[in-house]
Structure 1
């Protein structure tokens, strides 16, 4: 009708003068658009080509083996791999936490089947990790990328040194007391902050701490660590998804593949001696430390 302005939808890929694009309106109000998932679209930047998908599958297989062998979530592998595939350090860390959910479930089942889980210690550890994880997730959305890289390097140095100088026993258990319970909660707070900040499950810190500070055997420390990180990875992932930091597809691909290979890693952990297991873990962390240090130095110079 005369005098009225009718909306014209741009349905081609050609962007007209003025900046409109596919789905925009000319001379009319914008139509509401529906998000493609509950917490919004995946963060952009990830290489989703066939090559990228193959890398995600390989990373999942490696993570599953390491999780079963060492009682870790695998963030020390997942985060650098996702950064290499194009995600920022922030989004890689958040996506890693989602991948740890199915990985830790599989590991807990494998360790619990052989009686190598301290359920009470895991609950206390998670209580602290829950609070710390929320703080870590909050910091993750605010700290600069360069700070995150250097925190990751310092964390790796600490864990590697501990693996070299300490050999856990295989026949000890956690002796529970009031002081032990308080200590487990405080340890959980520290682990939760690092988990939310670095995108790790926290096992690389929890396993040596449970053995050195609380007298757990190497296998019980690993099984208990995986049980504690399971609910923490869920709560932290929910917080990260609400902040739209998680690449859901990548996290699920890595996590599901890892869950399938974790039982084999658990079998390896029981087949080797505690000292051999510590040396293997230290060698892996040492290689990762060299790479992470190189990347952090390069990023510092570039900034």
Structure 2
């Protein structure tokens, strides 16, 4: 089990650094498959591991000058409100709903990443409406963090690029910094509810931190168009696997009710 958790963390950390996500986008499915967690446990445990992963990744991007600290502050303020609400929904919504909401969100992000080629070098001009939009983005990121155990980078990175005109590297670095308060504020109610396998989350987090630096280095080397397509293809593969699993689980739950 320890080796499986380390592998989950290493893969999640590499992708976190490469794509500017918390790593939960791949850690949650892997925790479902390899650690035999249910959706709630996987989401809550993944969120614990995202905290150190996002800190390490944002430091690496910050060293490269690819973090907008002010934008991250506004987004982070929104995540603090959204994450506890998402954590409450995680405890309240039926598991079948959580599975399919997660799958639909991944599919939407995949389509965008494959079809839209980001640029490198764009920046953000802070104006009142932009600030309000950043807080709103943080609210959505917080909801995603609390409900699905992801940092919200799959939401933030495309939005930073498409709506706020950021370059791809700046979007990734800012996304990682902005998701830290979401991960922290979403983890606290999950801990209180007993959903988190804390030791497992810490093992995953240590491995993710170790691998995140390599992911950031790759992000600076790979052209933005290739990086976007690779990420989109990865999400499509995850969506396919999760959809098959969700259908099987629904069939099993139906048989159990009828039996």
Q: Deviations over 1:191-230 (max 9, x none)?
A: 1111110010100110011000100100000000000111
Once the two structures are TM-superposed, the CA of residue 301 in structure 1 deviates from its matched residue by 2.2
Once the two structures are TM-superposed, the CA of residue 297 in structure 1 deviates from its matched residue by 1.5
Q: 2: distance between equivalents of 1:167 and 1:82?
A: 31
Q: 2: distance between equivalents of 1:206 and 1:150?
A: 20
What TM-score results when the alignment is normalised by the length of structure 1?
Answer: 0.82
Query: Where in structure 1 do 4 or more consecutive aligned residues deviate above 6 Å?
Result: none
The structure richer in helix per residue is 2
Matched, 1:152 2:91: no
Number of the residue aligned with 1:37: none
Residues 98-247 of structure 1 correspond to what in structure 2 (within 5 A)?
A: 98-247=48-197
Q: 1: distance between equivalents of 2:195 and 2:19?
A: 27
Number of the residue aligned with 1:11: none
Who wins on radius of gyration, i.e. which is larger?
A: 1
Once the two structures are TM-superposed, the CA of residue 106 in structure 1 deviates from its matched residue by 0.7
Number of the residue aligned with 1:56: 5
Number of the residue aligned with 1:289: 239
Q: Deviations over 1:154-202 (max 9, x none)?
A: 0111100110111111011011100100011111111111111001010
Which of 44, 47, 68 aligns to 1:94? It is 44
Structure 1 stretches of 5 or more lacking a match?
Answer: 1-51
Q: Deviations over 1:62-115 (max 9, x none)?
A: 111100000001112111122222211111101110000110111011000011
Q: Deviations over 1:11-32 (max 9, x none)?
A: xxxxxxxxxxxxxxxxxxxxxx
Matched, 1:253 2:185: no
Q: Larger relative CO (CA 8 A, sep 6+): 1 or 2?
A: 2
Q: 2: distance between equivalents of 1:296 and 1:88?
A: 11
- How many residues get paired? 252
